[in-house]
């Protein structure tokens, strides 16, 4: 049962254009969402996050949007740069029995073409 | 500034062999985690340690054991490796009251 889904395994975008990465979730108990970025042969690194009480969070070229009614969040990268080429993981947090559990999506590989 | 350090980076095992993956963090984090990453499966939690002296099972604990040796170190042991354990293993850590996890560079394990 995949509670966090990233339905696009890959995405190609021209340099300078907008990249939109999508993430859907099924568990209404998720209260905090994060995006991680992963380069080959490295571990994931935190990129941006959003609380369930907000619908938008912006950090430079990166913006995350949350639509709670649709159980959908998206990451926008504007403008896209070749250095943004990486795998992006969506992650969602829930509290269960006093433990904060984080569930990761399957990842979307972004390629930014110069 | 080392962060989270994992050793080894690569390992090839034969079925039935045992090994221990090492993880150490220098950020004074309370919580530590072991994940495995498989194609099309994302990151799945194997075991975690919410604080020094405690360990708990995650989503896919079968075939693994862990030891929280001290606040810095959290090891993952495969007692009898199986081909299904071929994967990339990531260790992560964080402060208890924070949301962001910090990951090591991973250990790529192949079990033949």
State the average pLDDT over residues B68-97: 95
What is the torsional sign of CA B10, B6, B88, B111? positive
- The Cα–Cα gap between B34 and B89 comes to 7
CA pair distance B110, A87, nearest whole angstrom = 22
Lookup: tokens for A41: 């042969």
Strand A108-113 relative to strand A10-14: parallel, antiparallel, unpaired? Answer: parallel
Contact state of B99 with A32 under an 8 Å Cβ cutoff: yes
Between A96 and A27, where is the model more confident? A27
Percent of chain B with pLDDT over 70: 99
Q: With 70 as the cut, is the pLDDT of residue B103 above it?
A: yes
Instruction: Chain A: give the shortest CA distance to residue B98, in Å.
Output: 10
Q: Quick: pLDDT tens for B2-45.
A: 799 999 999 999 999 999 999 999 999 999 999 999 988 889 99
Q: What is the mean pLDDT of chain A?
A: 94
| Residue A97 confidence (pLDDT) | 66
The reported pLDDT for the residue numbered A98 is 65
What local confidence, expressed as pLDDT, does residue B5 receive? 97
Listed residue (B33, B72, B73, B109) closest to A44, CA to CA: B33
Whether the per-residue pLDDT at B54 is higher than 70: the answer is: yes
Q: Do A102 and B50 touch (CB under 8 A)?
A: no
CB pair distance less than 8 Å for A102 and B4: no
Q: What is the mean pLDDT of residues A99-104?
A: 85
Q: What pLDDT does residue A1 have?
A: 67
pLDDT band at A95 (very low <50, low <70, confident <90, very high): confident
């Amino acid at each position: 049962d995949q509670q966090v889904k990233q339905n696009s395994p890959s995405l190609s975008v021209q340099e300078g254009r907008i990249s939109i990465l999508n993430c859907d979730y099924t568990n209404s108990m998720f209260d905090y969402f994060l995006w991680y970025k992963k380069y080959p042969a490295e571990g994931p690194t935190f990129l941006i996050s959003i609380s369930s009480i907000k619908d938008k969070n912006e950090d430079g070229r990166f913006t995350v949007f949350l639509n709670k009614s649709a159980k959908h969040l998206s990451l926008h990268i504007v403008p896209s740069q070749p250095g943004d080429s990486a795998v992006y993981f969506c992650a969602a947090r829930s509290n269960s029995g006093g433990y904060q559990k984080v569930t990761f999506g399957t990842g979307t590989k972004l390629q930014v073409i110069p | 500034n080392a962060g989270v350090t994992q050793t080894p980076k690569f390992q090839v095992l034969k079925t039935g062999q045992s090994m221990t993956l090492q993880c150490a963090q220098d950020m004074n984090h309370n919580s530590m985690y072991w994940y495995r990453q498989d194609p099309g499966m994302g990151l799945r939690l194997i075991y975690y340690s919410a604080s020094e002296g405690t360990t708990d099972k995650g989503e896919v604990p079968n075939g693994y054991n862990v030891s929280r040796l001290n606040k810095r170190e959290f090891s993952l042991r495969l007692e009898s490796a199986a081909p299904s354990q071929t994967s990339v293993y990531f260790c992560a850590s964080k402060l208890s009251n924070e949301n962001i996890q910090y990951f090591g560079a991973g250990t790529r394990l192949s079990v033949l």
